[in-house]
Structure 1
Amino acid sequence: MAAPGNLSVIFILSGIPELENNQNIIAFPLCLLYVIALLGNSTIFVIINREESLHQPMYLLLAMLAMTDIGVSLTTLPTVLGIFCLNYSKIDLDSCLTQMYFIHTFAAMESGVLVAMAVDRLIAIWDPLRYSSIVTNSVIAKIKLVIVLRGLCVVFPIPFLTRRFPFSKSHVLSHSYCLHQDVIRLASADTTINSIYGLVAVLMTKGFDSLFIIISYVMILKAVLSIKANEARLKAFNTCICHVCAVLLFYVPLIGLSVVHRFGKNASHLLPILMADVYLLVPPTINPIIYSIKTKKIRLKIIKVFTRNKTGTLDKGIAVLTT
């Protein structure tokens, strides 16, 4: 149940404080990031779903990673571009809570996908002869369902726990979008339950996930180092490069942001803002670029699609000229 007066609560989102009224200076770079993120991830998702030769566990998980990146981008896009392109920074409570829910849900899903990809690589390197019988498409479908349900259910109570608070203090948020820890900072009530549940939710998702990823890569490293042939060892390492980059892009800003929020009392107020932007904007932009460059099958399919489109356009032009 909402606290009295919450129906009229309007939050003020922040861009980059140092820019004040000149937020549109970085509008073009931000638009470019979103275009790359949405176009790149959509291309990978469509190619994997259309090409039957890519209906393999590794690529199906990559398609899900692309979908979560699209989800994160679409969730943050309205408020971020509203601030930096239109100088509009207001958001009502319900919209804020909805955005908060989807941001944290998609982040939890992405973390789960990264774990699944780590385990997939571990089995492929540790027991390659039994890989195809262990990691089947039906198993991947079940894993994807668990990842989605976990993200939806773990984050589900947070908006309702937050909506019951009165917000009679400052309504100015620290970021260009609504995050749980940022919103409850403005509540005029005891937020212990939210803080505890938020910590539990993080531990149940990103905490356990990061632990499983570390364990998986320790075992992968052990298996790779036991390979005697240098060429085979290099090939095994190469299959993990993209995933390692995706993990670092996701977890390094997340850990840095958590440390700054917990212990960075004397740090510049600009630091958590920039780290939050990196955490939510950079992985969706960089992931499709890395996978397009480093994954040969994806790269070839993308080249084939664009060259086919170019050839088709050229043929149509010649047909028009000759008629």
Structure 2
Amino acid sequence: MVLSQQWKSDHHPSPGIANGHLLRNTAIPSLLFSYCYTHPLPPFDIRRCIRLRDDNKLAGSAHSTEERQSMNTNELPHGYRPIAEAPLYAINLSAIVICIETGLPAKPNVEGYVRLTVDGKQIRRSVNAILARAFPAELLAAITLPGEQWLTCPNFTDYKVSTLARVWSAKKAILLAPGTGTTGYPAVCLPLAGSFPSIPVHILVANAFLGPCPEGMHVKHIDRDRANAALSNLRHAFPPRIDPSAAVALHLSGASVRATAQALGCEKKAVYRALRAKGFKSGATGRPQGAA
């Protein structure tokens, strides 16, 4: 570029510019000042910047909830499955929850709960509950013993019972520990109509594998062991009918109700029923006493 050496101070008082041409010895800062002076910047609009930021945020969130779900599901690490209620997270059989976008784990708290972000809001979920929904068959297979079979409990769809009298919570992925009440039958508390009644385990096993109990029959323990609620020890049978005279004779000879029941091959309640039919009444000790 040919620079002019002509100088006209009367028409061009500003140094560095002469007839639209740059002078050879002009300093760079003076040129920048002249350009900025002749080309002012537009006024800064903070409201327009905020509006553009919000539009970009909305576009990004819409992309993450619709297109990014299917895209990230195909890019899951081996062994991970997406969480249904939080599609941007995944979990594996080791109960490790990760964010699909970043690959970073979501650490649970001491109580076993983890915080997940869904549509800009945080939700709190149990890791065991998430694991049970993601891997229902795998978790049940991991605790199944050889020869053991499982069926869903009638009237309790969130629970399964096995042929070995074990009760599995499909919602929480845990085995329920049965307790023994005054009846001596192992029982578990299950939710039913807003309450938690105690259901004997042998009733759950019989209803699931043997079907509803016919009218006039009951579930009988073959070996008379109430603690053994396995399917192989249960069957539908009619209540035992004993000779009331034999029950009275054994009772008058000093035999206890348990010994009388064992001798007659029946349960204690059958002995109580026979003694009451003969005019005996239950005393404070629980043993029927004669009342001529």
Which bin holds the TM-score, normalised by the shorter protein?
under 0.3
Which gives a bigger RCO, structure 1 or 2 (Cα 8 Å, sep 6+)? 1
Point out the structure with the larger helix share: 1
Larger radius of gyration: 2
Query: Under a length normalisation based on structure 1, what TM-score does the superposition of the two structures give?
Result: 0.19
